Amino acid sequence: MSATVTPYEDGPLLLRGDFEIVTPDGDRIEQEGATVALCRCGKSRRKPFCDGTHKLVGFTAPADREKPLS
- pLDDT 10s digits, 4-52: 999 999 999 999 999 999 999 999 999 888 999 999 999 999 999 999 9
Report if residue 64 sits inside a domain.
no
Q: Which comes out higher in pLDDT, residue 56 or 67?
A: 56
- Torsion 26-31-35-38 (CA) sign: negative
Report if residue 8 sits inside a domain.
yes
Predicted pLDDT of residue 31: 86
Helix (H, G, I), strand (E, B) or coil at 36: strand
23 is in which domain, residue-wise?
3-57
Predicted pLDDT of residue 64: 86
Q: Is the pLDDT of residue 69 over 70?
A: no
Report if residue 18 sits inside a domain.
yes
Predicted pLDDT of residue 1: 66
Q: What is the CA radius of gyration of the chain?
A: 13
pTM to 2 decimals? 0.85
* CATH number of the domain within which 25 lies: 3.40.5
Provide the number of structural domains found in the chain: 1
Query: Residue 54, Cβ neighbours under 10 Å: how many?
Result: 22
CA dist., res. 42 & res. 15, Å (int): 17
